[in-house]
Amino acid sequence: MGEHDAISGADIMTEKILIVDDEKDLVRIVQYNLEEAGFRTAVAYAGEEALRKVRDEAPDLVVLDLMLPDLSGVEVCRRMRRDEATRRIPVLMLTAKGTELDRVVGFEVGADDYVVKPFSVRELVLRIQAILRRSADQEPAAVLNAGPISVDVPSCRVTVEGREVSLTALEFRLLVELLQKRGRVLSRDQLLDTVWGIEADIVTRTVDAHVKRLRDKLGPAADLVETVRGLGYRLRTE
């Protein structure tokens, strides 16, 4: 690991973070620093254990390693996103796999952010705080509508032509961002910054993958999400 210095939180936080990793020494370091930053923590050393704790303890965020002794972190995240009770819980993937393809796969299954080992504890804590802050700050209009699409923001409920559509947390944020800025062209860089909260040069294909998945789920309303060649995406106004 890089930086092991403790981080002191200026504000006392009560959010619970579930740390999922089979490297016990690393878990202890991460746990110590998160608690110094004011978080409560829980720990799981395997995928099935993590899924049980996610359901039983309802953490505010999961720090999830990809390489686990039973289920992969990708499979853990995928199962979380399929479960109505856990699909809105943010996931930060923590892994030694740092290729662009690995990041794309992680984001495609619903990860909110991605930190590569060896990592700075300070950066990890700041990224966790940023994810939680984005979740807390998402207070747009209670209901957003566009054609057959209706989004009840407080309840995270999306319907198309009256039929409910199941979206991951990232897909939901992406749709809300497009709805809030309807008619405006949003570049991939802008979407990475506002929806993912990461630097645009990390991986822009992530946006394309999520837009494709969002369109697939929107079904008859898919054409409302328009590709503006060479620029980005927008939600049509007509």
SS3 of 43-87: the string is: EECCHHHHHHHHHHHCCCEEEEECCCCCCCHHHHHHHHHHCCCCC
User: Residue 200 sits in a domain of what CATH number?
Assistant: 1.10.10.10
Q: Where is the domain boundary, 137, 169, 184?
A: 137
CB 37 within 8 A of CB 125: yes
- Residue 7 within any structural domain of the chain: no
pLDDT tens, 111-135? Answer: 888 888 888 899 999 999 988 887 7
Residues of the domain holding 117:
16-137
User: Quick one: 28 and 42 in the same domain?
Assistant: yes
pLDDT tens, 66-76? Answer: 889 999 999 99
Q: Tell me how far apart the alpha carbons of residues 195 and 122 are, in angstroms, rounded to a whole number.
A: 22
User: Quick one: 116 and 64 in the same domain?
Assistant: yes
Could you tell me how far CA 35 lies from the centroid of its own chain?
A: 22
pTM: 0.60
Q: Are strands 163-165 and 157-160 parallel, antiparallel or unpaired?
A: antiparallel
Distances in whole angstroms, Cα of residue 153 to Cα of each of 102, 140, 175, 183: 31, 7, 11, 20
- Residue 123 within any structural domain of the chain: yes
Higher pLDDT, 126 or 10: 126
Instruction: Judge residue 101's burial from the number of C-beta atoms within 10 Å of its C-beta, 0-12 exposed, 13-18 middle, 19 or more buried.
Output: exposed
Domain count, the chain: 2
User: Quick one: 152 and 217 in the same domain?
Assistant: yes
**Residues ≥6 apart with Cβ < 8 Å to 24:** 45
User: Quick one: 54 and 153 in the same domain?
Assistant: no
- Residue 2 within any structural domain of the chain: no
User: Residue 110 sits in a domain of what CATH number?
Assistant: 3.40.50.2300
Which pLDDT belongs to residue 2? 47
Residue 25 has pLDDT above 60, yes or no: yes
Mean of pLDDT values over 198-202: 52
Q: Where is the domain boundary, 118, 137, 156?
A: 137
DSSP letter for 113, please: E
